Every structure is written in C-alpha cells, then in structure tokens.
Amino acid sequence: MDKLDMEVLSGKLDAELIKKDFPVLSNSANNAPLVYLDSGASAQMPQSVIDRINHYHQYEHANIHRGVYELSEQATISYESVRSTVARFLNVTDTAEVIFTKGTTHAINLVAHAFGRTFIRAGDEIVISHMEHHSNIVPWQQLCEEVGATLKIIPISDVGELDLEEYRRLLSDRTKIIAVTHVSNVLGTINPIKEMVALAHAKDIPVLVDGAQGAPHMKVDLQDLDCDFYIFSGHKVCGPTGIGILYGKRDWLERMNPYEGGGDMILSVTFEKTTYAEIPSKFEAGTPPIASAIGLGEAIKYLESIGLENIENHEKVLTQYATEALSDISGLTVYGTAPQKAGVISFGVQGVHPHDMATLLSDDGVAVRAGHHCAQPVMQRYKVPATTRASFYLYNTLDDIDKLVDSVRSAKKIFS
Amino acid sequence: MYQEVILDHCKKPRNWGQVQNATHKAEGINPLCGDRICVSMNVVDEKIEDIQYEGESCAICMASGSMMTAKVKGKACTEAIDLTEQFRVLTTEAENKEEPAGFGSLAVFSGIRDLPSRVKCALLPWHTLIAAINSQSEISTEGDKDPVPGSGTQK
C-alpha cells in the first residue's frame, strides 16, 4: 500500500494539524526538526493541558477536602470532577471505583500490597505473563517472597502472542490473581483481555490489567472487558507525570486493607484505634498531586475531542506503514509481529547495536528508545541484549516514519 | 561521535580475545545496554606485559576497549590507573579542561560529554581494567559496584 492510500485510510485524523497543538513538537533536535517516536515511554502534552495546569497554579491552588473557604472548595471540585472524567473515559459508572495514584507502578504496588496482603497466603499462585513490564513483575515477586506464594508465567509465542492454552492450564484453585498487560510495551501485542477475564472469572479469579500502553491508544470499555483492576498513567495519555489511575471493582476495594496510612484516608483516629475512610479516600493518603490530576482530566478531554477510535485507527495505519518500510531494510528484524498490534515497533539491525542506532537516529532529530525497555524477560525470550523501539501516537505523521526509515538506513550504512 | 577512528576500532578491534593463563582478569557489565566485556592481562613486576579484551557491546564500548588495550599494553599498572583517571576526566568533565597530552586518537572520546547516556559505554572497558588490576572479578555500571553511580536509568 502506498503513502497516499495510507493518508486516505488515516483520513479522520489530521496528524499535521494535531501536531500544532503540542509545543514541544515544533522544537528542533540536533538542528533537525524533532521527530518524536517515544510516546510509549512518555507522551507529549498539548497546549490545553499545559494551560490548564498553569491556570490552576495561578488562580485555583489550595489544598483540597475540608477547606471551608472558597478557594479550597473550588480546588476540591476541580480535582473530584476528574474522577467523573476518568470514569467516563473507562466507561464505568461508580466514580468511587476510580483511585488517583502516582502512576502505573504505584498503582500496581498498591494492589500487590493491599490485595496481596489481604487475600494471598502461602501456597497460593499468582499468574503473570512473559511480556510484562518490570513494574508488573517485581511487586508480585516481592509479595510471593513475603507470603510464600508462587509466580506462574504465561509463555509467549515467537510472534509475541500469549499462549492461551497454557494460560488455561495455569488457572487452578490455587490461583488468587492474574496480572497481565493490555498491550506489550516492547512487542506491541494487544492481548485478548476480555477472553482472558472470562476464563479467569469462570474460576472466580480476579484479573488486574496493566493498561499503561492500552488506555492511551484505544477505547477502553471496562464494562465490556469486565476486569477487576485496570491501571494507567497520566503522562502516557498526554497528561503530566506524577499521576495515574487505579480502577478497581468496589467489592474488591472495600475488602482490601489500605496501602498507605495518613491524612485523608481515615474516618477517625485515636491512639487506640483508627477507622478508615470509604473508597476512594481509603487509598488516597496524604495531599495528592492536585494539579497533575486536573491536568490528566484536561488530557482525557483532549483525547476524547479527537476520538479514541480515530487515534487507534491512525496508529494502525502508521504501524502498518512503518512495518512495511522497515522490513524492506535487509538485516532488520522486527520483534513482535502479532496480528493484533498497537503502535510499537521494536527492532534490531544486524551489525548495529541498538544504543548506537538510537544515538545515530538522535543525530537526525529522531527520538527513539533503546535498551531492555524494563522488560528483561522479553529480551531473554528473543535472545537479544536490547532492542531499538519506535512508538507512535496521534501526533505522528507518515513523514515522521519516512524520517525514521531514512535515518535507520544511513545508520546501517555507517556500520557496513 | 561515530568518526572514522571509532568505526575502525569497532570493526577491527585490537587485542581481541583472552590472554592464556592470565594473571589478572575481570568482567564488566552494563545491565542497561546488556553489554558484557572481559579484560584479561598478564602482569609481571607490576607491568602489563599483555592485555586482551572481548565481549558483546555497542560500538562506543567496543572502540573504547580496543583503544584502551593498545594504550596500556606495556605500561606499568600505576600508569594505567593514571590514564584511566585522565580518560574519566576527558569523558565526563566540563569542556574547558585541557585534553591530556599524548592521548592521541583517544581524544576523540571527549565528544561523549555531549551524550551523557553513553558515557558509561566508553568508561566500561577502563573500569574493567581497574577491576582486573585490583583483582576484582566483576564490575557493573549499576548498583553498589557502579564506578560512576547515578548517571542514567531507563524506562
């Protein structure tokens, strides 16, 4: 398929126009226009989000909850209204099921701690997959060591899909939770979450979904997916850092012990006994990152104004175009070729170390990531020390991909 | 950074391999890149009679290792330690520092200052050399064995 056809396919979303909403993207890098292909690590913020955060700092800041003066009441309203925005974004009805966290890592640790210490005992099993980010491995490993539980791993195929037959076999009456990523941050694979949740629920096992690479790139309907926990980060959905979301089903959240103790998460405190607040406050100890939460709300509104379906479609076009163009380069291997794939391409070029590749691309203004992408087991699975990864978002254009491909070709030439 | 001299050493690394019956030997690893190199030496009367290195690494590390072995071969251990310190200054400290005299083609590595995330790649062979001299079996660019802590993590 040629470039013109691709542009037609991507028709509902004008990435050139969208790019203008993002001030960082009009900057240059190494005297070349910045080609930002690292949104999988962190997305850029549009002007509207930057303005909203500034406005909060300039005119609206006060600590939330319990302030009886107008400024604090307004800050509380702004902060709490983001809960409704997130609930709409994820298609859930009960806003108390939306908990603000510091990010995806914090949220997974929260569940591993609060759910784990409430429900998981020696001899129990926790099922994760071979394609998890370290943040969905290490907290569970720590839990296993502490309580004497065992970690079970769903294997992945050569193209980068989960082995669902093996997944079925791993589910037993010892399995207490499944923690799996929605989309692999290295391979791009979109996992069949709905099917996996149904299989788990048939055995009364709850499922946590790491949505860090899912929520930014597609419409997430939690009533449809039916998972028990869904987690994502603000800075990967065009919001600021320091804020993330944990969605949890009310029934689980109410039965879980708190993770952190402190202000805002209590009903009453005496030296003899503390009673905890209801959800969501029970899991939000201390002053939260108020400005970041408000920025996240604005970011979600921005994405919704473009349309998540349009973003998903646009990234499919970019991914297909990039995969075809990169695959034309001899000696280049793409890791992760699942049919259901998001806008992430990890690759290696024979004779060029991924770090040298990333440095040479940077000389041309092309920003990609190189390394193990906090997913060392994936590197071990494909027997590579590292990969170079390009990841796409709504503001990337087919021209960006052309520049990536040209730059990869010249890097290869330098080492030939 | 990828100048002819670096590419040349990268494609044809000098002193590649392992010294037989080495008196001193160390492994250097950079878990972030997955780099792993081995430096082996024959030290007689505190002098590096023979030195070889091998491993899997990026071009910066590979060229740095090749040039390091060429530079320190035949030198006293104390001299090799001094050279390592000079190389560290060359690659990490502000540009107004004078480049050490007699560094020759190694001076090309001053360019790595502009690439802070890659400094560890250039330093790894030198730190592995020091580990070998000190009869340490392994060094890592991460954690408590990190000779340059705090310069670079990744997501």
CA B114 vs. chain centroid, Å, equals 18
CATH 3.40.640.10 in chain A is located at 50-305
CATH architecture assigned to A3-38+307-415: Alpha-Beta Complex (3.90)
Asked if B83 has any chain A CB less than 8 Å from its own CB, the reply is no
What does the pLDDT read at residue B106?
83
pLDDT at position B155 is: 37
Mutate to test the interface with B, among A356, A372, A381 (most CBs of B within 10 A): A356
Q: What is the CA radius of gyration of chain A?
A: 22
Contacts of A385 in chain B (CB under 8 A): 33-36, 56
Verify whether the Cβ–Cβ distance B33 to A414 is below 8 Å: no
Residue of A nearest to B57 (CA): A353
Chain Cα centroid distance, residue B19: 17
Would you state the structure tokens that stand for residue B17, as one six-digit string? 């391999």
B59: nearest CA partner in chain A: A356
Closest-CA residue of chain B to A185: B155
Residue B47 has pLDDT above 90, yes or no: yes
pLDDT of residue A48: 98
Between A365 and B4, the more confident residue is A365
* pTM score: 0.91
Average pLDDT over residues B10-25: 93
Distance CA A191, CA A162 (A): 7
Interface check B58 vs A, CB under 8 A: yes
Residue A202: Cβ-neighbour burial (10 angstroms; 0-12, 13-18, 19+):
exposed
User: What is the pLDDT, as a whole number, of residue B101?
Assistant: 67
Give the CA dihedral B99, B101, B102, B105, nearest 10 degrees: 20
Delimit the domains of chain B by residue range.
4-141
Pick from A395, A392, A236: nearest CA to A325 = A392
Of A353, A372, A379, which is closest to B58 when you measure between CB atoms? Answer: A353
Domain A50-305 top-level CATH class? alpha beta
Average pLDDT, chain B: 85
**Phi, psi dihedral angles at A280 (to 5 degrees):** -85, -15
pLDDT at B151: 40
Select from B10, B56, B115 the Cβ nearest to the Cβ of A359. B115
Phi, psi of A268 (to 5 degrees): -150, 150
What residues of A are in contact with residue B33 (Cβ under 8 Å)?
353-355, 370-371, 385-386
| Interface probe with B: pick from A213, A359, A376, A407, most Cβ of B within 10 Å | A359
The contact set of A with B (CB < 8 A) is: 41-42, 353-356, 359-360, 369-374, 379, 384-386, 414-415
* CB-based contact, B114 to chain A, within 8 Å: no
Under-50 pLDDT residues of chain A = none
Q: Catalytic residue, from A144, A227, A238, A374: name it.
A: A374
Is B2's Cβ below 8 Å from some Cβ in A? yes
* Contact call for B60 and A355, based on CB within 8 A: yes
B104-140 pLDDT per residue, tens: 788 888 888 888 888 889 999 999 999 999 987 778 7
The per-residue pLDDT for range B56-78, each reduced to its tens digit, is 999 999 999 999 999 999 999 99
CB contact under 8 A, B57 and A353: yes
Pairwise CB contact (< 8 Å): A359 & B155: no
Would you state the pLDDT for residue B92? 85
Collect all residues with Cβ–Cβ distance below 8 Å to A106 and sequence separation of at least 6: A244
Q: Cα Rg for chain B, rounded, in angstroms? A: 14
Q: What is the pLDDT of residues A223-240, one digit of tens each?
A: 999 999 999 999 999 999
Q: Where are the beta strands (DSSP E) in A183-340?
A: 207-210, 229-233, 244-248, 266-269, 274-276, 332-335
B59: contact with A, CB 8 A cutoff = yes
Backbone phi and psi for residue B15, each to the nearest 5 degrees, phi listed first: 55, 45
B56 interfaces chain A, CB cutoff of 8 Å: yes
Instruction: Find the CB nearest A41 among B1, B115, B155.
Output: B155
The answer to whether B12 contacts chain A (CB < 8 Å) is no
CB pairs under 8 A between A and B: 53
Topology, domain B4-141: Sufe protein. Chain: A (3.90.1010)
Side-chain half-sphere CA neighbours of A287 within 13 A: 10
CA distances from A385 to A325, A371, B57, B103 (A): 24, 8, 9, 32
Dist. CA A227–CA B155, nearest whole Å = 26
CA separation for the pair B129, B109 (Å, rounded) = 17
The owner of tokens 């592995």 is B128
* Residue carrying the six token digits 């491993």: B55
- List the single residue in B11, B32, B59 with the smallest CB-CB distance to A356: B59
> Residue B58: its chain A contacts at CB < 8 A?
353-356
Rounded to whole angstroms, how far apart are CA atoms B61 and A70? 60
In this structure, what are the phi and psi dihedrals at residue A308, rounded to the nearest 5 degrees? -65, -35
The answer to whether the CB atoms of B118 and A360 lie below 8 A apart is no
Element (H, E) at A296: helix A290-306
Q: How far is A77 from chain B (nearest CA, A)?
A: 34
Distance from the Cα of B126 to chain A's closest Cα (Å) equals 19
The answer to whether residue A374 is catalytic is yes
Listed in order, the ranges of chain A carrying CATH 3.90.1150.10 are 3-38+307-415
Whether A356 sits inside 8 A of B60 (CB atoms) is: yes
How far CA A403 is from CA of A14, A115, A160, A343, in Å, comes to: 18, 46, 27, 17
Partners of B57 on chain A (C-beta within 8 Å) are 353
Partner A contacted by B5 (CB < 8 A): no
The Cα–Cα gap between A365 and A360 comes to 9
